[in-house]
Structure 1
Amino acid sequence: MKEIITYGSYAPSSHNAQMWTVEIPKNNKIKVYPNYARVLPFVDPNNRETWISIGAFVENCVLSAQDLGYSSAVTINDAEIILDLQQDNSLIKTNRNIELIKKRLTIRKPYLDIKIDDTTITKLINLSDSIWYFPIENKETKKIIDYSLDAYSFQMKDISKLRELAKWMIFSYREEKHRKDGMTTEALEIKGIRRFLFNLFFTKKSVTRKTFIKSSIKRVKKQLNSCSGYILITSDSYGKAELIKTGRLLEQVWLECIDSQIAVHPMSQILEEKEYYDLLKTSLKIDKEIQMLLRIGKVKEYPERIRKRLDIIDIIKG
């Protein structure tokens, strides 16, 4: 159970806040709950991203259990999510899912100007009818880029959201050594002399200052325009079960991308700002709710990174 939960914790979460906690009752069950001490009340006041992150956690548990010879039944109740694991001799034990889970990471740097082949895109889209793909050359994609940049710039004016971001950013080598969550300079792809200068001169207060805001907007503009295209994941509603389903589908998409050496970068700001979200839905003529926007593309080398994750003792309740 602890091994499965460990692989579960490798799931993505907003700001790497890791907003999940679990119980392990008897009879091969895992109960999953949100950890409300780790949610993001300013950018995610309705816990939409929290439930999506928990869905990704659940999917990792299901997939790693498969590799270890267990089938999983997932039940979603008002109070909890229950994974009922049963040993299944019909399953062929492999390490495929676990290896992909271990490789999963967000790659934020600009991607190569290379089209992803149609076969790979079809494989991704065929995972669900809730998945949409917009290649970079499409006219609709320009709307995705423009509205995303507008939403990001708008969010950079909100002091409360900036302070919340600062809480999860790591600004010193000492903090980086001791924390098991949040976003390191390495995760933000600040390297070499830039990393040294960042840790030397920037503090959490720097996030609300003009220099940081201006450079962040410039960086995001470059990211938005440097990719092969965008994957959108939709749902029928904002209900908890639908959001958990979205999180599970997000992880399936991400792992398939890793298997095809495709880089992934969630761009959530436009989904967090209603004005720009409504503009996006209208321009793309999508009648479902857009829950995830993923920038995807090719990179010269798929990197390895030190993973910041809570210890198992920090995840299990009691």
Structure 2
Amino acid sequence: MNSFLTPPNSISTKTMDRKRFLGIAAGAVLIAGSAYYLTSDTSNLVRDDINPGEIEKFPLKADEEAILFLASLAPSGHNTQPWFIKYVQPYHWLICNDRGRWLPGVDPQQRETILSIGAFVQNLEYAAHHLGYYCKFTMLAATNQDENILNVILTKTGNTAQYDIQKIKLRRTIRSEYLVDALSKEDLAYLINGQTDFLHFVPNTAKEYKLINEQTIEANRQQAYRNAAQAELATWIRFTSKDTERYRDGLTLAGMEIEGLTAWYLRNFYDKTDVMKSAFRQQSIDQVKRQVSQSAGWLLISSKGSSVNQLLETGMRMQRLFVDVRGRNIAIHPMTQILEETNNKQSINQITGISDTVQFVLRTGYVKNYPQPVSLRRPVDWFIRPNTT
């Protein structure tokens, strides 16, 4: 899932040309006390800075709004949030596929779109159970391109599953500062959870680990220099705080873990045209090289096929894993370019010997500190529509 895409970490101070960086730093010092600095874009917006907004289109029940917002905290490629809800009546909705949020440059068959919607569905089910509702889902879609994916009716049961919804709220993709320590047997068993038909771990001591690293770097290189993919990426990067607040989606600087002076420079002096320049492309590849050198291994999620139902189930499986790892200080970073670029010398199946279809490639490892989530989400009112069918 291409949030699974690795967003280029733009210009990090570690990789920036020394002369250029010193010039930027000197300029920052000169303007630090000036009116320009005070009126410039000085800090990254994060999730806590944004007011979720108020429901206006539909008089939603409080539980409906809570459930749908928690569902929307699911990950998606470039954080496009490719779902919307058709409102039939209270607690009866259609979960839909938003064509305007597809990523044809890296996901031309909408495989990753459906996986993302599966993650959304899993969050919805967890949140509904927490508030004492049973979800009845009915499949509507026959293809990845169909608009209506699932019909869902929520029925109050009087019982609560006591699911810890903080797990949904605190889920975060971490891209840097992974430890190379091996996962303990207990933690690995916890991750796999007996699902050996679907979850496969490649430790950093295995020869396959090095091959996946190499092919991931190569796939990122291909994608960075493929103009359609790079232009698509540029469309979804939110450099300025103004765009961040306006859209509440996409790849923000905070979400890409860019802070401090570098973030200030990018917010004030970068735009989408810079993403297409060679320097930006090369810096993103260099960042990937650093990332793949830091992990305990690769966790792969496969499915028996690629029907809409199987993709939804796989997205749900991934989300169940993703919301559970924080408590063990295990980070997950989806890096799916190896599945998206067809010119790789070796496919993930050839490297690992997995016969089923690999749907997720997740870099995995321990981290010392688990930061709070910062990626933005649209208010519920922005992704709910009347059912006119």
RMSD between superposed Cα atoms in Å? 1.6
Q: Closer, same or farther in 2 for the Cα pair 1:80/1:2, shift >3 Å?
A: same
Q: What is the match of residue 45 of structure 1? A: 108
Q: 1:10 aligns with which of 33, 58, 73?
A: 73
- Per the normalisation by structure 2, the TM-score is 0.78
Q: Which runs of 5+ in 2 are unaligned?
A: 1-63, 142-147
Matched residues in 2 for 1:91 and 1:200: separation?
48
Q: Quick one: higher RCO (CA 8 Å, sep 6+), 1 or 2? A: 2
Q: What is the match of residue 223 of structure 1? A: 291
- How many residue pairs align between the two structures? 316
Q: What is the match of residue 133 of structure 1? A: 201
Q: Which runs of 5+ in 1 are unaligned?
A: none
Q: 2:121 aligns with which of 54, 58, 61?
A: 58
**Counterpart of 2:134 in 1: which secondary structure?**
strand
**Paired-residue identity, %:** 31
Q: Is residue 85 of structure 1 aligned with residue 154 of structure 2? A: yes
Q: C-alpha deviations, 1:78-118, integer Å up to 9, x for none? A: 243122222223434x351x100000111111302222211
Q: What is the match of residue 169 of structure 2? A: 102
Q: Is residue 196 of structure 1 aligned with residue 277 of structure 2? A: no
Q: 1:162 aligns with which of 227, 230, 234?
A: 230
Cα shift at 1:305: 3.2
Query: Could you tell which deviates more after superposition, 276-285 or 258-267?
Result: 276-285
Q: C-alpha deviations, 1:101-151, integer Å up to 9, x for none? A: 000111111302222211111121125321111111111111111111111
Q: Closer, same or farther in 2 for the Cα pair 1:61/1:127, shift >3 Å?
A: farther
Matched residues in 1 for 2:321 and 2:194: separation?
8
The answer as to whether partners of 2:91 and 2:153 remain within 8 angstroms in 1 is yes
Alignment of 1:1-318 (within 5 A): 1-26=64-89, 28-78=91-141, 79-92=148-161, 94=162, 96=164, 98-126=165-193, 128=195, 129-276=197-344, 279-318=347-386
The answer as to whether partners of 2:244 and 2:252 remain within 8 angstroms in 1 is yes
Query: Could you tell which deviates more after superposition, 81-90 or 227-236?
Result: 81-90
Q: C-alpha deviations, 1:18-38, integer Å up to 9, x for none? A: 000012323632310101011
One-letter code aligned to 2:266: F
Matched residues in 1 for 2:151 and 2:136: separation?
8
One-letter code aligned to 2:101: R
The answer as to whether partners of 1:143 and 1:280 remain within 8 angstroms in 2 is no
Q: Closer, same or farther in 2 for the Cα pair 1:195/1:288, shift >3 Å?
A: same
The answer as to whether partners of 1:270 and 1:277 remain within 8 angstroms in 2 is no
Cα shift at 1:61: 0.2
The answer as to whether partners of 1:21 and 1:35 remain within 8 angstroms in 2 is yes
Matched residues in 1 for 2:345 and 2:317: separation?
21
Q: Closer, same or farther in 2 for the Cα pair 1:95/1:24, shift >3 Å?
A: same
**Counterpart of 1:22 in 2: which secondary structure?**
strand
- Larger gyration radius, structure 1 or structure 2: 2
The answer as to whether partners of 2:332 and 2:363 remain within 8 angstroms in 1 is yes
Q: C-alpha deviations, 1:286-310, integer Å up to 9, x for none? A: 1111100111111121101334111
Matched residues in 1 for 2:242 and 2:87: separation?
33
Matched residues in 2 for 1:192 and 1:178: separation?
22
